[in-house]
Amino acid sequence: MSKSCKHSIHGHQSHFGWNNAFAPEVTAAPGDIVEFETIDSSGGQLLPTSTAADIPNMDFGRFCPLSGPVYIDGAEPGDALKVTILDLAPSGTGWTANIPPFGLLVDDFQEPALHRWTYDKNNLEPAAFGPHIRVPLKPFIGTIGLAPSTSGLHSVIPPRRVGGNMDIRDLSVGVELYLPVEVPGALLSVGDTHAAQGDGEVCGTAIESQLKVSLKLELEKGANFQFPRFNTPGPVSRGLDIKGYKVTTGIGPDLMENARVAVSEMIDALTMDHGLSAIDAYLLCSVCGDLKISDIVDMPNWVVSFYFPYVVFD
């Protein structure tokens, strides 16, 4: 068996959107390790000096840059690319924003908002959101995927069967992710890395933070997976269960409307119980609260619950 090689992709080796005509930045063999330097999801437009007033002036065509692509020798349609996440090295800074018209509650929050984060990149201690609120961190990859078989340029925003902008917070160190291959060479790209996020990413952003990503790439020939799947190396908790949760619900025949109601109810509860502004509560819900489908069988009404961890309050 040949010895694996290590490859590097730097921040300038990036692209916008998905296109199977993009030339690969590197070619890797199965078993090789690739290290990616990512750019934050604003494309570097939100600086330490930026304010909410800068958000409407951003070039949204530069959002969600992807580092890559990587061509994997021997990858063919019908195979699965097995990606093992070896390491995620955080930068220590990040941001969370409300960027209209994006987010679950866009009708309720039509003004831009921006929160800047700093955190300990070595020990990953919970990051402060004001004097009495600290959010536990769990770095992960928000966007990781392969080129689709359909020709032309495709937006990075919606996820698809070859992966992409899935925003699954458990795609962290130790995970084995399997992505369906649709084009020769697979053409893997990575971006939109986060320091923390709640399930649902309800305001549309997490703690958006640059990470250095190390991945091992292997092939499962003829796997014929229809959609991505992954294995975790152990429990996926971020330690948020220690003090319990406040939980709100939405009940009705429409899961999306139920999700909106559950989050809106939580925002009301946080503003009343903890004196938060509505926009701060919305941003916090996005980075540390979890949307869950609690009941999808008792027709005609389904239950969506929103869990907010008490542990974030000192």
CATH level 2 (architecture), domain 6-231: Sandwich (2.60)
Check whether 301 has a pLDDT greater than 90: yes
Q: State pLDDT tens for residues 245-262.
A: 999 999 999 999 999 999
Name the 3-class secondary structure at 41: coil
Average pLDDT for residues 99-114, to the nearest whole number?
96
Looking at domain 245-312, which of 3.30.420.480, 3.90.230.10, 3.30.70.20, 3.10.28.20 is its CATH number?
A: 3.10.28.20
Side chain identity at residue 61, one-letter code: G
What count of residues does the chain have? 314
- Report residue 235 CA to chain centroid gap: 19
Percentages (nearest 5) of helix, strand, coil residues in the chain: 15, 35, 50
User: Residues spanned by CATH 2.60.120.580 within the chain?
Assistant: 6-231
The H or E element containing residue 284 is helix 278-288
d(CA 76, CA 6) in angstroms, rounded, equals 22
pLDDT tens readout for residues 177-234: 999 999 999 999 999 999 999 999 999 999 999 999 999 999 999 999 999 999 999 9
- Residue 34 pLDDT greater than 50, yes or no: yes
Q: Using one digit for the tens of pLDDT, what is the confidence trace for 68-99?
A: 999 999 999 999 999 999 999 999 999 999 99
User: Across-strand partners of 6?
Assistant: 33
Banded pLDDT at 50 (limits 50, 70, 90): very high
Question: What does each C-alpha distance from 248 to 251, 267, 272, 275 come to in angstroms?
Answer: 10, 10, 14, 18
- The number of angstroms, rounded, from the C-alpha of 145 to the middle of its chain's C-alpha atoms is 12
**DSSP category for residue 160:** B
- pTM value is 0.95
| Cα distance between residue 250 and residue 264, in whole Å | 9
The answer to whether the beta carbons of residues 20 and 183 sit under 8 Å apart is yes
Q: Which residues have C-beta within 8 Å of that of residue 41, sequence separation ≥ 6?
A: 63, 64, 65, 142, 191, 192, 205, 208
Whole-number Å distance between alpha carbons of 314 and 311: 7
Where, residue-wise, is CATH 3.10.28.20 in the chain?
245-312
